[in-house]
Structure 1
Amino acid sequence: MPIARTFLASLTAVLATAVHAQPVFRSAIDVVTVPVTVTAADTTRRVGELGRADFRIYEDGRRQELTLVSHQPRALSLCILLDSSPSMASGRQVLAIRAIDTILQGLKTDDEATMHFFAGKVRTAFPWTLAPALRPVSWIEWRLSLGTALIDALKEGLHQVEQARNPLPVILVVSDGGENASGTSLAGLVATRKQSETLIYGIQTDLTPSRYAPNVNRAFANFLPQVVGDSGGMTHRIRTPEAAETAALALLEEWRSQYVLGFTPKDGPDGKYRALKVEAVDPNLAVRHRAGYLASPSK
């Protein structure tokens, strides 16, 4: 027993010394990352590689110290929300299929995707699936039905993001932009930090509405820009299959070429929304990014 007690006492002392000797790191949970799309005002100019000295970042108007600037592609978790209302008939389906097939075929090995149809209700086409296991979409199962619950679909997309495994969560809405059936309001839709960090993009099928489409409230006739909002994404408007493919390839390129900026906020998590602003030091460069995030601890 005395030997055992002596051993335990010695071990405790060694462990205590080791703990005190360890350098203290702040938890990665405090680090906020911001995907940034950088473009040149002169489209013929190549942006080139940028570093920490090329950006300024602010949180609620206070400048923050950048601790990370990365230009490495990140694995993508892509949630596709596809409008299945009657207004997608008469050519819009062809555009949507071309865009979605192009994107799914362009995914990398570590990427994953899920797709959901929405009309009056939201239903799953396929769950989260790694890119190598994705099968060609069975478009014969894409049946149009009444209603356009675009906001309800976005709510489901944000719920799906919570189950995503990759560091770059993206929601892509493919629609004509109508909304007339949701039971959810857009205000207060984002409930978690991960949801607030999700990029939302739109592909808008921009054709003359089908004569079979039901009447849509004019206030909701082009709701897609509000859905994309200030998430850091953008909307591509397409009118031809060739434009659909071009838009899809442009999205893939953007997701692969974004910069990721990181900083540790001066204030700890408080669960409140915080505004973000990123500037490029070079006035000839434009940056696009999300407008803020919920300052709750990330999981």
Structure 2
Amino acid sequence: MNRKIYVQSGAIAAVVIALAMLPASVTKAAASNPIPMIDYPAPQQIAAPAIETAQASQLQNLPPRYVPQAPTQGAPDQTLTLPQAAPQSSPPPAEELPRPQGQEGTLEVPTSERQPQTTVGRIQVTATDDTGRWIQDLRKQDLTVYEDGIQRPVLGLQRDIDMPVSIGIVVDTSGSMSWKLAAAEAALQHFVRTLNPSDQAFLIAFSDRTFLLQDFTVDPAALDRAIGILHANGETALYDAVVQGLQKVEQGRWPKKALLVMTDGMDNKSSNSLNDAIQAARRAGVLIYTVGLGTAGGSSMGTSPMTITPMFGGGGMRFGHRHQMGGGEDERVDAATLQSLSDETGATTFVMNPRVTDMSALDAHFQSISAELREQYTVRYASAGGARPHQIRVEGSRPGVEVRAPKWAADAGS
């Protein structure tokens, strides 16, 4: 028994000794017969994600158009962390209404009736007495506003005495204007010098094409220089100039906008129609003051020839049918079209024949327009809103007060 155990122990010891000697022999053999070593590529380092995954609540609280800052070149890899979201308080548990005794099933809670959505509409209103002088103490209860035939509540009334205006000046420079331009330039330069410091204005000249001579500016000197380079040539694309002038003035900074259009002829070159110009005026919600230099003539609207006689008593205008002012057929002004554009927007029309009328009347009328812009009121009313223009009617309830307002209002906004 003892001998058997001894033999096994001796065998184990021999195996251990042999294993210990094996590395030395292998090393010696490798030294005498070297084996080529194979260079395996080192495992690539997998970079950590550059941006942490943000929770949905974090994404909702990012500022608009948030752009994460990229790490600086050459800097070690950094983890970009989105702004921390403000802690959200958990909503209180829903309160269950007690179920009435003796009844089973769900309890129905009555819902309130859905109210029609309204927005705030804004229009400019001019109020004068029977002599044409402006009313300076108008109250909102003195006005009634109808939108698409439905009376709407008047929410507020503000006098525009200090309200800045975005103004577009659109001047006819067709060939027939050559001998009238000097007086027109002087009147326009006087007009821009009477604007308020915050008012912005641009100048467009048109004949058979339309040219922007001066973009929006608050600098009267820049407008003076642009007015000074007007020259006459070509035909009359009046409707195109009105449409393009409206598109430009709608880009103005201020909510109150006006367009001053001066021409001495009838349209003979436009790609737009008269209806295009009228529809553009309805959509824009812009006051369009029109000035015609020449004899009052008919229009493509089929209106009979008319004479528009101005009466100055503080800026109000009276339309009369007194006498046909002199002038040849080539000097007729489309007075009916001009009056239609102004009536649509609540502004005025002035037609004069420069051959028989002192051109200083033109300067006086421009000054009247400048003053009227400060004597108007902005009326806020509850509008049905929507993307289309609304038909507007404004009535005055104070005796002896006449109210002039646009016939259409652009889509209302809050």
The equivalent of 1:82 in structure 2 is 171
Which one of the candidate residues 87, 99, 106 is aligned to 1:8? 87
State the TM-score, normalizing by the size of structure 2.
Answer: 0.59
Conserved 8 A contact 1:108-1:131: no
The equivalent of 1:224 in structure 2 is 338
1:178 is displaced (CA, Å) by: 1.9
Which one of the candidate residues 381, 389, 405 is aligned to 1:289? 405
RMSD: 3.1
Higher relative contact order (CA 8 A, sep 6+): 1
Conserved 8 A contact 1:114-1:128: yes
Q: Map Cα deviations across residues 184-209 of structure 1 (whole Å, 9 max, x no partner).
A: 01224467799431010012223766
Conserved 8 A contact 2:213-2:226: no
Q: Is 1:71 aligned to 2:159, yes or no?
A: yes
Counterpart residue type for residue 360 of structure 2:
E
1:13 is displaced (CA, Å) by: 4.7
The equivalent of 1:34 in structure 2 is 123
Q: Larger Rg: 1 or 2?
A: 2
The equivalent of 2:212 in structure 1 is 124
Q: Is 1:50 aligned to 2:138, yes or no?
A: yes
Conserved 8 A contact 2:265-2:333: no
For structure 2, which runs of at least 5 residues remain unmatched after alignment? 1-85, 93-117, 296-325
Matched-pair identity in %:
25
Counterpart residue type for residue 263 of structure 1:
Y
Q: Is 1:107 aligned to 2:195, yes or no?
A: yes
Q: How many residues align?
A: 271
Q: Distance in 1 between matches of 2:251 and 2:259?
A: 13
Counterpart residue type for residue 232 of structure 2:
L
Which one of the candidate residues 360, 375, 378 is aligned to 1:260? 378
Which one of the candidate residues 192, 196, 200 is aligned to 2:288? 200
Conserved 8 A contact 1:58-1:277: yes
SS in 2 for 1:31: strand
For structure 1, which runs of at least 5 residues remain unmatched after alignment? 1-6, 15-28
Conserved 8 A contact 2:153-2:381: yes
The equivalent of 2:246 in structure 1 is 158
The equivalent of 1:25 in structure 2 is none
1:294 is displaced (CA, Å) by: 3.6
State the TM-score, normalizing by the size of structure 1.
Answer: 0.80
Which one of the candidate residues 368, 393, 398 is aligned to 1:277? 393
Q: Using a 3 Å threshold, how does the CA distance of structure 1 residues 283 and 115 change in structure 2: closer, same or farther?
A: same
Structure number with the higher strand fraction is 1
Q: Distance in 1 between matches of 2:211 and 2:130?
A: 41
Q: Is 1:170 aligned to 2:258, yes or no?
A: yes
